[in-house]
Amino acid sequence: MPTREKSISPEMPSSSAYTNDEAIILAIRTGDRQAFKHLYKSKYLLKKKMILSKGGKEEDVKDIYQETMSAFYKNVKKTTFHLSSSISTYLYSIAKNHWLKEIDRRMKRKEDSLSDKEHQLIDDTVINIEPTEEEIRLRAIKVAIEKLKDPCRTLLTKYYFEKKSMQEIADEMGYKSAKVAKGAKYKCMERLKKAAFKEMKK
């Protein structure tokens, strides 16, 4: 008796169909939604770990990751797009840039709302690499301060590490008043913020 031939029903591609980065990009470009979903799920935990390690929270991870994948999808769809690294490396770069921009936006919002008294706590808003690890945070601030030129380096060292008041700093550094010294400190903080971001990107 002849063997009955089994009918084959069409199925969505399995994850094994996406064996390399080129195959995934080609699939996404041709409208394969399953390829994008596969990529989204497979890279999520890696990007989650990166964002959490840089001071993010669980709720930040979803927002940043969605922004990252949206940017990746738009870029892949462009005819001029050329991947010069692995997808993982490319996604890491996008996610990191999005997170650093988010940190910058948050710091600016905090600085805009600071009162004179709160300016004394500005070190907590200028750099927030690892807010739960004080030693790492202070070390990053110290490295950034050391790269500044005087008078900023001396002023911020006296303020943060010698714990001197603005009046004491004014007297020692020749400022007319504590208010003038505070104004100078604020300008130095802007330079410190730029130096701190360079340290964060290393």
As its CATH architecture, domain 17-110 has Orthogonal Bundle (1.10)
pLDDT tens string for the chain (202 positions)? Answer: 444 444 333 344 455 566 788 888 888 888 888 888 888 888 887 778 878 877 778 888 888 888 989 999 999 888 888 888 888 888 888 888 888 888 878 777 766 655 555 555 555 555 444 444 556 566 767 777 778 888 888 888 888 778 889 899 999 888 889 899 888 888 888 888 877 766 655 5
Give the relative orientation of helices 134-146 and 152-160 as an angle to the nearest 10 degrees.
160
Place of tokens 């070190």: 123
Q: Which amino acid is at 40?
A: Y
Give the relative orientation of helices 87-112 and 178-200 as an angle to the nearest 10 degrees.
170
Can you tell me the distance from the alpha carbon of 82 to that of 169, in angstroms, rounded to the nearest whole number?
A: 54
Map out the domains of the chain as residue ranges. Answer: 17-110, 115-200
